[in-house]
Amino acid sequence: MSLPAPATALLVAEAVTAGYDPDLPIVRGASLRVAPGEILAVLGPNGAGKSTFIKALAGIVPIGSGHVLLGDHDITHVAPHLRPRMGLAFVPQTENVFGTLSVTDNLKIAGDALADRTVAASRMAEMFDAFPDLAHARALQAGRLSGGQRQMLAVARALIGRPRVLMLDEPSAGLSPKLVSEVFRRLDRIRESGVAIVLVEQNVRAALALADRALVLVEGLNRHEGLARSMADDPVVAELYLGIHRRAAEALV
Amino acid sequence: MSLQFLVDGTVAGATIGLGAIGVTLTYSILRFANFAHGEFIAWGAYATLAASAAMGLLVGHATPPLGPFSFTWLTLCAAVIAMGFTGGLALGLDWLLFRRLRDKGESIIAIMASFGASMALRSLLEALFTAQPTYFTRALQIARPLGFGLRATPNQMVLVVLAGLLMIGVHLFMTRTATGRGMRAVSENPTLARVAGIDVTRVIRITWMIGGALACASGVVVGLLVQVRPFMGFDLLLPLFAAAILGGIGSVPGAVVGGFTVGLAEAAAVAFVGAQWRGAVAFAVLIAVLLVKPAGLFGRRA
Ligand SMILES: Nc1ncnc2c1ncn2[C@@H]1O[C@H](COP(=O)(O)OP(=O)(O)OP(=O)(O)O)[C@@H](O)[C@H]1O
Ligand SMILES: [Mg+2]
């Protein structure tokens, strides 16, 4: 497998700066591109700005400079609530379901963004078929779901709009190894349907095993990029990435 | 022992409940306590008076009261128009004042600003209509027996029923419609709401409209049953907040149950303890409930 030609990239971010305070950019010129049917893993040490980057792509952290393209559209400054309708879905890391609402209402909310009510209803039925656990819990408040079910609900919510690009922030966080592989199997199948996936992960090994390409972000900048397979075996990357980790861990002790 | 306090408490509860829905929705969706909410009640009552006077002039002759009630169909039409007006007033205040503070993320300043807005709106009413009380009608209504020694006027009965229908309507709106779902979603997590495709700006506008319209309805009930004066809403402010907190912030059924609880507790205090204890009792009930259920009766994340 080779790097996708630029023409096939569906989501393109170029030299993006973003942060919570205009004077203090966290993402300092990061770039990524991802093609249909491809999984891009975004890796990097704690505090590298991975979450901030992906939130900027979702439109909920302001972008200072650079631009974001979805297909032919420049979406750099498009309001976040319009992005799911354009085919860009985002699953945040924490608080990614509405805990006080029922499972059904969580999915209906995503369906409400679609123009057609009957389409929304049939998509919801599809989700309940694809995630039987959710179907059994449909009347339950989402806050009462288990961690794994909650993650499934968050993914299902994002899929209701049939996104062309799906972005996820650490979907494996807090899940047991068994559930992690279940979530990743789902992502694999979603990729097979032609969706472009941006996967921010701490679980480097699992992410590299699943992804096609990977991007290592350090201090808000692209540090390393390449095929996931070769990165998994690359001692330099492992040292770069894990070394930073080891030092951070030592600093804590 | 007379149970008449039940009737008075139910009527008061209906007015408090209508107002508390707006308080609880703005509190949970906009994340600040709007102390100008009482003024929406007073402005709604005056707007209804003004609209029915204007419509009376247009009709050109006196309209007879509706059935056993002391108001005319003009009053009802005027109330509907005034509900739209008061919703617009709330929206205008947000546009002029709260929107800017919200963009800066200064919730405590928004609360202080709402105090200022409350005073300004009230003074404006006094300037326009004087501080003297006024009335929708001076016709006296005979209270009719309801059984168990209870008595209520036809006005009281129909207004409690209308208020109840409005509350049920809002509840259905919040639970059954896309916009209502969006409002509940924004009240829990505005950022996730945006990610999920909800237009938060639109939700905020609708919240103000609903809060303003219901405050107006509350003002009309008070106006028809008691009197209309510039302080009528401000005087309800503490019961409104007590009811909203008692019911659990963000919950429409909670605001309604909280409203009736506070209304009945106040009426019982007046009947059995003494009128001077009215305000204190609302707070005693509030504290008692919060000790047992800190998130309120219908509160989330208890
Ligand atoms: N809401 C926020 N407001 C202000 N600063 C924030 C906020 N969220 C994160 N930051 C800061 O931005 C920097 C990057 O954080 P970010 O969450 O993007 O990193 P990350 O790469 O996702 O880290 P992790 O692997 O721990 O998830 C950190 O220094 C963090 O303190
Ligand atoms: Mg992160």
In-domain check, residue B189: yes
CA–CA gap between residue B263 and residue B274 (Å, rounded): 15
- At residue B248, the pLDDT reads 92
ipTM, interface predicted TM-score of the complex:
0.90
Instruction: Tell me, yes or no, whether B57 lies in a domain.
Output: yes
Name the stretches of chain A with pLDDT < 70: 1-7, 236, 238-253
How many folded domains does chain B comprise?
1
B260 Rama class: left (phi>0) / alpha (psi -120 to 50) / beta: alpha
Q: Which residues line ligand 1 (CB under 6 A)?
A: A 20, 26, 44, 46-52, 202
β-strand partners of A27: A18
pLDDT for the residue numbered A249: 46
Domains of chain A: 11-94+164-251 (3.40.50.300)
Q: What is the average per-residue pLDDT within B183-201?
A: 96
| Residue A169 bridge partners (DSSP) | A200
Which of B195, B199, B203, B301 to mutate to test binding with chain A, by most A CBs within 10 Å of its CB? B195
* B254 has a pLDDT exceeding 80: yes
B71 vs A60, which has greater pLDDT? A60
A86 has a chain B CB within 8 A of its CB: no
> Across the A/B interface, how many CB contacts are shorter than 8 Å?
71
Q: Tens digits of per-residue pLDDT, B161-177?
A: 999 999 999 999 999 99
Among A167-176, B141-150, B260-269, the least confident range? B141-150
Q: Would you say residue B301 lies in a domain?
A: no
| A:92-151 residues touching chain B, CB 8 A cutoff | 92, 95-101, 105, 108-110, 112-113, 143
Task: Please indicate, yes or no, if residue B177 is contained in any of the structural domains.
Answer: yes
CA distance A85 to chain B (A): 7
Q: In this complex, is the C-beta atom of A249 within 8 Å of any C-beta atom belonging to chain B?
A: no
The answer to whether residue B298 sits within a structural domain is no
In a domain, B41, yes or no: yes
Tell me what pLDDT residue A86 has: 94
pLDDT confidence band for B302 (50 / 70 / 90):
very low
For B230, the domain range is 4-292
Residue B2, token pair as written in the block: 């007379």
Which tens digits make up the pLDDT trace of A1-22?
Answer: 445 444 589 999 999 999 999 8
Structural domain contains residue B162: yes
The CATH number covering residue B129 comes to 1.10.3470
| pTM (predicted TM-score) | 0.91
Is A85 near chain B, with CB under 8 Å?
yes
For residue B242, tell me if it sits in a domain. yes
Taking CA atoms, B221 is separated from A119, A150, B118, B209, B248, in Å, by 43, 45, 21, 19, 24
- CA A147, A153, A158, A164 dihedral sign is positive
* Nearest CB to B188 within list A98, A108, A110: A98
Q: Nearest-CA neighbor of B204 among B215, B193, B216?
A: B193
Averaged confidence pLDDT in chain B:
91
First to last CA, chain B: 37
Report which secondary-structure segment, H or E, holds A34.
strand A27-34
Under a CB-based contact definition with an 8 Å cutoff, are residues A29 and A66 in contact? Answer: yes
